[in-house]
Amino acid sequence: MIVLEFKLKGKPQQYRIVDEMIRTAQFVRNKALRYWIDNSRVKLSDLYKQCAIMAKEFEWAGKLNSMARQASAERAIFAIQRFFSNCKAKKPGKKGYPQFKKNTHSVEYKTSGWALSVDKRCLTFTDGFAAGTFRLLGSRDLHFYSPNAIKRVRVIRRADGYYAQFCINVERTEEIVPTGKAIGIDVGLNHFYTNSTGETVPNPRHLRKSEKALKRLQKRVSRKKKASSNRKKAINKLGRKHLKVSRQRKDFAIKTALCVVKSNDFVAYENLQVRNMVKNHKLAKSISDAGWSQFLQWLQYFGKVYGKTVVAVAPGYTSQDCSSCGNRVQKSLSVRTHICLCGAVLDRDHNAALNILTKGLRQAGISSNTVGHTGINAWKPTSTHWW
């Protein structure tokens, strides 16, 4: 599956209709969740039946396409299934009991309720809301894909406008160019990551750089009268700034992950539990600003697309163990240099990256006698696929 996103260009009254569509989808989702709470042993088919009942009971709910109502009910059942899976896995902390939504920003259609123009540059909604036709603004081209391959269309409201995402049932594959290199990656706050060759990538700190502007915009919001049009405008400006920061972070994560995967045949990284790490209130903002989870997710994605091996290893003692002799050298977070009795003197993150590479190769069943030394790039893969 791939997702292509376009900005929707329409008239103000059309956007107001889209807002009604989103509110209706939120209503259907919340009603489906209420039905699950009030009844036992509820299945997805039962929620589908409730969607049909809602369409008859509420005239405005019937305007929403039947498959869009089903997609909203699926959101409720997915939240329920996630809750039960967390309970079954005995996940520590809160299990994520399904909650009623108050500020939904999207509505999802399946294979009906919408239509593309002949040139595939316009999107028309054909359900009871009759939102009309929107122009699709974007650099991607839908001509490469048949209409039958488009399985879902999601309409999203953001601070800077409305967007349509097309979920297309195709497999993305890219030409594989073997490099014969294997690296381990240690993410951090001082540097975004340090690899096993000692190379570092600076931490961009997008949020930190925009904090001054964000505080100024937040002050403007707090000074405006509640429920006034000026307050709404100030909130929109603040939302646009936050949206820009999140886009900067995502763009950096994608480009960095793509560079890592295309430059190496084997990549090992720490399987960090970022959700637990942000509980440290002194480092939470910096960790969230770094966007490690997003970066590691894109590493896995590009690894599959390019046929490269990307391995997640346990993070235990990667910073404490010596990459040369294996002895454990205890040190606090403030100590940034690894010094061992065997004579090894390395940057703390470089030492950790070497240990991560060693763990990754061992986990993948690949032996390399050069791990931990300057010749680790001499490792050659026997095949371009390890899936």
| 286 is a domain residue | yes
Q: Which domain holds residue 140?
A: 2-168
Q: By CB neighbour count within 10 A (0-12 exposed, 13-18 middle, 19+ buried), where does 275 fall?
A: exposed
| 192 is a domain residue | yes
| 386 is a domain residue | no
| 271 is a domain residue | yes
Catalytic site residue 349? yes
pLDDT tens column, 45-60: 999 999 999 999 999 9
| 175 is a domain residue | no
126 and 275 within one domain: no
Handedness of CA 274, 279, 282, 285 (dihedral sign): positive
In this structure, the strands spanning 114-116 and 122-125 are antiparallel
User: Nearest 5°: phi and psi at 255?
Assistant: -65, -40
104 and 196 within one domain: no
For residue 88, give the 3-state DSSP assignment: helix
Count of domains for the chain? 2
271 and 157 within one domain: no
157 and 22 within one domain: yes
Active-site residue, from 108, 289, 321, 349: 349
Per-residue pLDDT of the chain (387 residues; tens, 9 = 90+): 889 999 999 999 999 999 999 999 999 999 999 999 999 888 899 999 999 999 999 999 999 999 999 999 999 999 999 999 999 998 878 888 999 999 999 999 999 999 999 989 999 999 999 999 999 999 888 888 888 899 999 999 999 999 999 999 988 888 888 888 999 999 999 999 999 998 999 999 999 999 999 999 999 999 999 989 999 999 999 999 999 999 999 999 999 999 999 999 999 999 988 888 888 888 999 999 999 999 999 999 999 999 899 999 998 888 888 888 888 888 888 888 888 888 888 888 999 999 999 999 998 887 655 433 333 333 333 333 332
User: Nearest 5°: phi and psi at 330?
Assistant: -70, 135
Catalytic site residue 46? no
Active-site residue, from 186, 265, 289, 321: 186
| 215 is a domain residue | no
Active-site residue, from 265, 270, 289, 321: 270
Catalytic site residue 119? no
190 and 138 within one domain: no
The CATH number covering residue 362 comes to 3.30.420
159 and 10 within one domain: yes
126 and 93 within one domain: yes
pLDDT tens column, 6-25: 999 999 999 999 999 999 99
